[in-house]
Amino acid sequence: MLAIVLMGSYARGDARRYCDIDIVCFQDRVLQEPSALIEIIDGKYLVRSFFSTEEVQDWFVQPEKAVQYICGLRFGQLIVTLA
């Protein structure tokens, strides 16, 4: 694991009562884990997504992925760096 980042409405500061909490885990290689895990903690949905550095590099060279992911990175808040 390289870093854990808070994303979405909680990172932007506009979360409402029923918003989920989006956590993205960046790792140095693709693991056998599912790409996302969803669980309920304290009445809130917690969505944990996992991306490898290889996948993140694709965001910057494949337009369809850039549109899907890069805008969200603007508001991401680093929680911890592990590398």
Distance CA(33)–CA(26), nearest Å, equals 13
Confidence band for 81, pLDDT divided at 50, 70 and 90: confident
pTM of the model: 0.81
Q: Give residue 30's pLDDT.
A: 72
Is there a contact between 5 and 80 (Cβ–Cβ < 8 Å)?
no
- Do the strands 3-7 and 77-81 form a parallel or antiparallel pair, or are they unpaired? antiparallel
pLDDT single digits (tens) 4-63? 999 999 999 999 999 999 999 998 887 666 678 899 999 999 999 999 988 889 889 998
Distance CA(1)–CA(24), nearest Å, equals 11
Mean pLDDT of 71-76: 85
Q: Give residue 68's pLDDT.
A: 86
CA-based nearest residue to 75, from 22, 15, 6, 26: 6
